[in-house]
Chain A
Amino acid sequence: MSLDETPEHVTLERVFTFFEPLDLCVLASVSRALRGLSERDSLWSVLCTSLWQGKAFVAERFRQTPSKASYRGSLADKHRDTITRGELCSLTWHFRFKRDAGEEWTDADPYWKRGSPMQWSFRTDGKMERADDHPELRANESEVRRWKFTRVSCGARGPKGRFVKVGRFPAYVVSRTANWGWLMESCWVVLYSFPISPYSQLPNEYRDEGLKVDTDLQWAEAFLYNNALNVPLRYLLQDGADSEYEPETEGRSAKRRGGARTRDSKRRKKSSPKANG
């Protein structure tokens, strides 16, 4: 069978639509003609559809152009644990308290009462909004809730998109789930980017015991919140205090603020961040 004649080329392409990625990659190493054929978007879009089916999240840039590059890119991207502003704001977050938050909160949480979680959306203007009809915990919304990316949580620095700070609450730490969804958790709450089942049917990975952030890890933030203390978290870092830090607020010199901040200087900095010893 020759590969050059057009009808057979079409035929071959149809045959290859039944192939898995590995089959296509093997094919690509056979000859340049087959390599060209094996890279067609028409073949990979079938595989993309199959791969992405049932996945909680696939970045828009892959979805828009299903191809070999998108297939491969999406496989790598499922491990990305920094969320972009656009992604955070485009998703509806299913919220529940963890048991560690205490009964006062879990008793009032519609998720613990009925298995149906509150929903929150993050807006690009920095505000947060309830996106469900549950009557519970509405009183809390009298104060406007605001979110921002923060670079410090759990006693460590993270890249932009790793930690999301809401009001004075302990920051949400961003991670990924097996179904390619997003999960954000603090020591007291969890937000899922996809609908969740009641706790008795919840996979272990999503239950309190399967999650990573607890009050040991986030003790400082929990302590500050509980004592209504307003201390920038970077002052609590135990690692190299003089490592770089770019302030979220614009207009201030990162260098000046990030400069030699030793443990000695921390205490002074609380009251006067600019006094640099």
Chain B
Amino acid sequence: METAPMETEQRLVKLSSSQGDVFEVEFGTACYADVVKQMIDFTSESSDAETIPLNLKTTVLEKVLQYCDYHRDNEPKEIPKPLPTTNLGEIVGDWDAAFINVDDENMLYELILAANYLDIKPLLDLACAKAACAIKHMTPDAIREHFNLQPEQMTPEEEQEMLEELKWCTDGGAA
């Protein structure tokens, strides 16, 4: 990692979405994603350096940059596994809870993929935890609907085995 002189800190970085929209963000924000940091051309002296193309939709990139901008100065909280509660605000704080409370479920999954692609682990955890909260406590039928799955015919043995499992899962933890 090269040491960043002052002018580098203040320098702006251009990132473009897959739809061609260009975002000009501060160096520190862009570098929150290690993958982006590695793509920045440190040898370039000029401030109008080349634009870094990212394979993300405009709406998703905008959201990711919002996250990076906030968390470059605010260390995100570690999310415990398994989740102790489905009230994410209690775990990650209000800002993150509001940030990840997206209306559109596809947006959530796109954020997961984006965080994975840009290797932003805390965002990946946050988005995955949010997705987990949505599925937790669903009935098998609701989960099937959620994932758009066809019901499968289970053999009596399989059904018996599953009943067994639910049993030890529910009372096995009791002291």
Contact = CB atoms under 8 A, between A and B. Distances in A.
Contacts of B116: 7, 10-11, 14
A99 B80 CA distance: 43
B82 interface: yes
Interface in B60-107: 79-83
A28 B162 contact: yes
**Residue of A19, A23, A29, A76 with most chain B CB atoms under a 10 A cut-off:** A29
Interface stretch (B35-43, B44-52, B128-136): B128-136
Interface residues of A, number: 35
A93 B165 CA distance: 36
A18 B79 contact: yes
B168 A11 contact: no
Nearest to A178: B175
Given A29-B162, A50-B82, A75-B173, A15 B135 contact: yes
Nearest to B124: A14
Query: Dominant SS at the A interface?
Result: helix
B90 to A, nearest CB: 14
Given A1-B109, A31-B152, A75-B173, A15 B131 contact: yes
A46 interface: yes
Contacts of A254: none
B101 to A, nearest CB: 16
B14 to A, nearest CB: 27
A272 B118 CA distance: 83
B3 interface: no
Contact of B128 (A18, A21, A28, A46): A18
Interface in A40-57: 46-47, 50
B169 A21 contact: yes
A15 B149 CA distance: 18
Interface string A49-86: 01000000000000000000000100110000000000
Interface string A9-32: 011001111111111111111111
A16 B132 CA distance: 6
A23 B152 contact: no
Interface string A217-261: 000000000000000000000000000000000000000000000
B78 to A, nearest CB: 12
Interface in B141-169: 143-144, 147-149, 152, 154, 162, 165-166, 168-169
Interface of B: 79-83, 109, 112-113, 116, 124, 128-129, 131-133, 135-140, 143-144, 147-149, 152, 154, 162, 165-166, 168-170, 172-173, 175
